[in-house]
A = this chain, B = another copy of it.
Amino acid sequence: MIVVTQKEASREIISEALNLLNQRGLEARAVAWKNQTLLVTHRNPASADMDQLKKTGIIERLVHPTLKAQLASREFQTETSVVKVRNASIGAGKLVIIAGPCSVEGREQLLGVARVAKQVGASMLRGGVFKPRTSPYEFQGLGEAGLRFLAEAREETGLPVITEVLEPEKVDLVSKYADMLQIGARNMQNFSLLKAVGKSKTPILLKRGMMATIDEWLQAAEYILLEGNPDVVLCERGIRTFEKATRNTLDLTAVPVLRKQTHLPILVDPSHATGSRDLVAPMAKAAVTAGADGLMIEIHPSPETALSDPHQQLDLKEFASLMEELEPVARAVGRQLR
B-binding residues in A (CB < 8 A)? 27, 42, 68-69, 132-137, 166-169, 186-187, 189-193, 209-211, 213-216, 219, 222-223, 226, 239-246, 249-257, 260, 273-274, 278-279, 282-283, 285-291, 328-329, 331-333
Q: A211-B209, A257-B279 are in contact. Are A241 and B249 (CB under 8 A)?
A: yes
Question: Is the beta-carbon distance between A214 and B169 smaller than 8 angstroms?
Answer: no
How far, in angstroms, from A193 to B189 measured CA to CA in the complex? 13
Question: Is the beta-carbon distance between A226 and B136 smaller than 8 angstroms?
Answer: yes
- A27 → chain B closest CB, angstroms: 8
Chain B residues with CB below 8 A from A69, complex form? 135
- A246 → chain B closest CB, angstroms: 5
Apart from A169-B169, A329-B333, what are 7 other A-B pairs with CB-CB below 8 Å?
A134-B216, A186-B191, A214-B243, A244-B244, A256-B283, A282-B289, A283-B290
Chain B residues with CB below 8 A from A331, complex form? 328, 332
Closest residue to A42 on the B side, CB-wise? B137
Q: A213-B245, A243-B214 are in contact. Are A219 and B135 (CB under 8 A)?
A: yes
How far, in angstroms, from A279 to B214 measured CA to CA in the complex? 15
Q: A166-B191, A186-B190, A192-B167 are in contact. Are A246 and B252 (CB under 8 A)?
A: no
Question: Is the beta-carbon distance between B256 and A133 smaller than 8 angstroms?
Answer: no
Q: A169-B168, A256-B279, A332-B332 are in contact. Are A211 and B213 (CB under 8 A)?
A: no
Partner of A245, one of B132, B167, B215, B241: B215
Chain B residues with CB below 8 A from A137, complex form? 27, 42, 68, 222
Partner of A253, one of B189, B191, B273: B273
Question: Is the beta-carbon distance between B211 and A211 smaller than 8 angstroms?
Answer: yes
Question: Is the beta-carbon distance between A252 and B255 smaller than 8 angstroms?
Answer: no
How far, in angstroms, from A219 to B137 measured CA to CA in the complex? 9
Q: A242-B242, A332-B331 are in contact. Are A278 and B249 (CB under 8 A)?
A: no
How far, in angstroms, from A215 to B255 measured CA to CA in the complex? 27
How far, in angstroms, from A331 to B289 measured CA to CA in the complex? 13
Q: A283-B252, A285-B289, A285-B333 are in contact. Are A42 and B190 (CB under 8 A)?
A: no
Partner of A42, one of B135, B222, B257: B135
Chain B residues with CB below 8 A from A168, complex form? 167-169
